[in-house]
Structure 1
Amino acid sequence: MKKLFQIVFCFMAVLSFSQSTEAIKFKGNITRFDGVTYKGFNVLDQRQDKSIGNLPFNENKEMKEVVFSTTPENDFKAWFSRGNTLDGKNELILILKKLKLSTGESDGKKTNGNMDFSAQIFQKEGDKYRFLYKKDTAFAFQDKRVSELMVKNIPVIFSEFIKKAYTLEPAKDAVLLSNLSDYEAYVKNKYEAFKSDKLKDGIYLDFNSFLNQNPLKGNFELERNDKGEVTKAIKIENDKKEKISANKMFAYVENGKAYKKTMSGFIEINKNENGFYIIANRGQIFPADYNSTYGMFGLIGAVAGSIEQASKQKKMKNEDKQEVYIDTLTGEYDFQDK
Structure 2
Amino acid sequence: MKKIILFLMFSVSLIAQRVELIKLNGNIKDKNSRTKSLTFIDNRTDKFIGTIADKKETAEIKFENEDLKNYIENWFLNDNKKLGNTDVVVMLEELKIYDEQNENKDYPFAKLKIKMSSFLKRIDRYYFMSRFDNVIVCNPKLTTHPQRFLAPQIADIMTEFIKLSYSYSVTGAYIPENEINNYDKYLSQNYKAFNNYELKDGVYNDFKGFYNQEPNAQYSIKKNKKGKVTGLLHNGADVSYSEMYCYVDGGKAYKLTPVGFDEMKKDDKGFYIYTSRVNLFAGGKGSGIIVGAVLGGIPGALIGAAIESGTNPPNGAVQGIGYRSSQESNVYIDSLTGAYIFEK
Alpha-carbon contact 2:203-2:244 (below 8 Å) kept? yes
Equivalent residue, structure 1, for 2:313? none
Equivalent residue, structure 2, for 1:261? 256
2:337 is equivalent to residue 330 of structure 1? yes
Alpha-carbon contact 2:36-2:83 (below 8 Å) kept? yes
Q: CA deviation at 1:103?
A: 4.4
Alpha-carbon contact 2:125-2:176 (below 8 Å) kept? yes
Q: CA deviation at 1:178?
A: 1.5
Task: Note the 1:295-314 alignment, pairs <5 A.
Answer: 300-301=292-293, 302-304=296-298, 311=323, 314=325
Equivalent residue, structure 1, for 2:154? 154
Equivalent residue, structure 1, for 2:104? none
Partner SS for 2:194? helix
Task: Choose 1 or 2 for highest CA Rg.
Answer: 1
**Cα–Cα, structure 1 residues 93 and 285, in superposed 2: closer, same or farther, change >3 Å?**
same
1:244-295 Cα deviation digits (max 9, x unpaired): 4322100111111111111111111111111111111122222344999x99
Equivalent residue, structure 2, for 1:53? 50
Equivalent residue, structure 2, for 1:33? 31
Equivalent residue, structure 2, for 1:71? 67
Equivalent residue, structure 2, for 1:166? 166
Mapped partners of 2:292, 2:332: distance in 1: 25
**Cα–Cα, structure 1 residues 153 and 277, in superposed 2: closer, same or farther, change >3 Å?**
closer
Mapped partners of 1:31, 1:231: distance in 2: 48
Higher helix fraction (1 or 2): 1
Normalising by structure 1, what TM-score? 0.77
2:184 is equivalent to residue 178 of structure 1? no
Partner SS for 1:39? strand
Mapped partners of 1:193, 1:72: distance in 2: 37
Equivalent residue, structure 1, for 2:233? 234
Task: Note the 1:84-103 alignment, pairs <5 A.
Answer: 84-85=80-81, 87-103=83-99
Alpha-carbon contact 2:118-2:131 (below 8 Å) kept? yes
Equivalent residue, structure 2, for 1:214? 214
Q: CA deviation at 1:242?
A: 4.4
Normalising by structure 2, what TM-score? 0.76
Mapped partners of 2:35, 2:237: distance in 1: 44
Q: CA deviation at 1:47?
A: 0.9
**Cα–Cα, structure 1 residues 253 and 98, in superposed 2: closer, same or farther, change >3 Å?**
same
Range 126-135 or range 141-150, more displaced: 141-150
Q: 1:330 is aligned with what amino acid? A: T
Partner SS for 2:198? coil
Structure 2: state its 5+ residue gaps. 1-6, 102-106, 304-319
Range 198-207 or range 139-148, more displaced: 139-148
**Cα–Cα, structure 1 residues 83 and 229, in superposed 2: closer, same or farther, change >3 Å?**
farther
Range 19-28 or range 73-82, more displaced: 19-28
Equivalent residue, structure 2, for 1:119? 116
Range 204-213 or range 66-75, more displaced: 66-75
Q: How many residues align?
A: 303
**Cα–Cα, structure 1 residues 327 and 127, in superposed 2: closer, same or farther, change >3 Å?**
same
Please tell me the root mean square deviation across aligned C-alpha atoms, in Å: 3.5
Equivalent residue, structure 1, for 2:40? 43
The percent identity for this pair of structures is 29
Q: CA deviation at 1:336?
A: 0.6
